[in-house]
Structure 1
Amino acid sequence: MSHNCSELGRRIAALRKEKGYTQEKIGDLLNVTPQAISKWEQGNAFPDTLLLPPLTRLLGVSIDYLLTGESAVGKTGPYDGEYRKEEFYWGIQPSELARQIADIVQDDTENRRLLDIGSGEGRDAIYFAKCGFQVDALEISAPGVEKIKQYSQLAGYAVRVLQVDMIGYDLSEAYDVIYSCGSLQFLPLAERRKHFDKYKQQTKPGGLNAHLVFVEKPFIKLAPDWETNEFFFSSGDLARFYHDWEIVRCEEKIVDCNSAGIPHRHAVNCIIARKIEP
């Protein structure tokens, strides 16, 4: 069982004891067995995601805090310092995955709605707007949000920017494309399935989901700017999340990167999947 699961278990145990609850009492209130609570606290299992809201209410903390040990109140983005600089940390050229989406949709972008999750400084969001999409850009970093707005004005393409934490963000609108490039590693493992299910649910029939995620490989060293609240994917995870969709493209490869000014490599998995209604 992973280090993250062990940390979660220790938090549950500590918070339960602070509240004066026994494992039996928590089990009664959540309608699960005391043995299930014990497994959580020992790091041998994750609570079901449906149990997270009532569990956090009982323990008096947020879901963010229970899963990561950090509160969402006053939370900043991991790249705030870099985004405050005049230059663009990620550059302004669109990613290869963004170009692939534009190639697939081609001229049929008018009135197509696209959600860019973890938009950073907006390089892909602005590119999608240039291609004709109506773009919503989610970004937690205040300096990143300002950078997107400035870039949008300079480029002359409108983007709706939402400063929110993608963890727990409730998608209430349907999109033709839901997209992320290197941001979903910030989803805690226990939250991952719920988020992908929501992305799929909020995609219009015939629409696309496209993601690039970082994959753990024993022969690739940890990137110099990797954060403690980032969690690797495993090979094949994306294909499993979209097993019931048409897989348009799916590949895993090794890429070079120079973020943080230090040359290094990443193993990445990219997927483009289309929602086909039965």
Structure 2
Amino acid sequence: MLNDNEIGQRIALLRKERGYTQEQISFILNVTPQAVSKWEKGNALPDTSLLPLLAKTLGVSIDRLLTGGSIMEKTSPYDGEYKKQEYYWGLQHSLLAEQIVEIMQDVANKRLLDIGSGEGRDAIYFAKCGFQVDALEISTPGIEKIRQYSQLSGYEVNILHTDMIGYELKASYDVIYSHGSLQFLPLDQRQNHFEKYKRHTRVGGLNAHLIFVEKPFVKVAPDWEKGELFYLSGDLARYYHDWEILRCEEQIIDCNSAGIPHQHAVYSIIARKIEA
């Protein structure tokens, strides 16, 4: 049985994370602000006819809106690490993020989506450098770390607390970016996800990703999760064969996550969308 209070709390949480007021939601759905207030207080439920548009507006599926799923529960393998006081990935931004800033330095009003933002190290860096940032992250403790870092730094980012798998992008971006998160995409969904990222990138904009690739001479990292799936060398270039490839590099890097020294084989790409 559906719990009105839980659904109301979920609607309120998602609304705030998307940056909407109750009045804005009421305008989109053509209901009164009082109706939205009743939903969030658990005094009433939205009419079933409103659920598709409400879920779309809040950036989730209808099932997730009603049942919570991965939003309200522990959903990330990094939750335990993100709950600790220290920052698991550190606060130093990545080289890939620095390269994006350099390429986009003359673009005004630039908007960026950071997929799998983790604890926000790159998202906050992009905000410092003048980007309007949407930080997408599934982990609740990760979200709290992003908020904490945002407040400490004085730079604001828009947090999207959701799963990148199945998330329907609404906006168009100048940059769609990910750093070590897309290995969680199921193999049979990768093509569709990259096509979606490309569709939601403005002409002249960039897609930039760093992924983990399988190499027989590189041992699997000690903190590698069951749900993480390697890519093969050249996969990213294939997804972006119809874009201008600005940078494309594969390398072996040293890592100390989980406190155990190890190596990763990584592949990074920066591609630009050119008007046909």
Which range, TM-score by smaller chain? 0.7 to 0.9
Q: Structure 2: give runs of 5+ residues left out of the alignment.
A: 1-60, 64-68
SS of match in other structure, 2:207: strand
- Superposed displacement of residue 172, structure 1: 1.2
Match of 2:87 in 1: 88
Match of 1:76 in 2: 75
- Superposed displacement of residue 72, structure 1: 4.2
Answer whether contact 2:132 2:157 (CA < 8 A) is retained. yes
Match of 2:97 in 1: 98
Deviations 1:73-132 (A, max 9, x none): 735111001111111100000001000001111242x31110000000000000000000
Normalized against structure 2, the TM-score is what? 0.74
Match of 1:141 in 2: 139
Match of 1:185 in 2: 183
Q: 2-side partners of 1:132 and 1:185: how far apart?
A: 28
SS of match in other structure, 2:183: helix
Normalized against structure 1, the TM-score is what? 0.73
Q: 2-side partners of 1:111 and 1:78: how far apart?
A: 34
Answer whether contact 2:74 2:140 (CA < 8 A) is retained. no
Match of 1:265 in 2: 263
Q: How big is the alpha-carbon RMSD for the aligned residues of Structure 1 and Structure 2? A: 1.4
Match of 1:126 in 2: 124
1:77 maps to a residue whose letter is: S
1:85 maps to a residue whose letter is: K
1:203 maps to a residue whose letter is: T
Q: Give the 5 Å matches for 1:224-263.
A: 224-263=222-261
Q: Give the 5 Å matches for 1:206-221.
A: 206-221=204-219
Q: Give the 5 Å matches for 1:16-95.
A: 72=70, 74-95=73-94
SS of match in other structure, 1:116: strand
- Superposed displacement of residue 264, structure 1: 0.2
Answer whether contact 2:70 2:138 (CA < 8 A) is retained. no
Q: 2-side partners of 1:135 and 1:182: how far apart?
A: 18
Structure 1 segments of 4 or more deviating over 3 A? 71-75
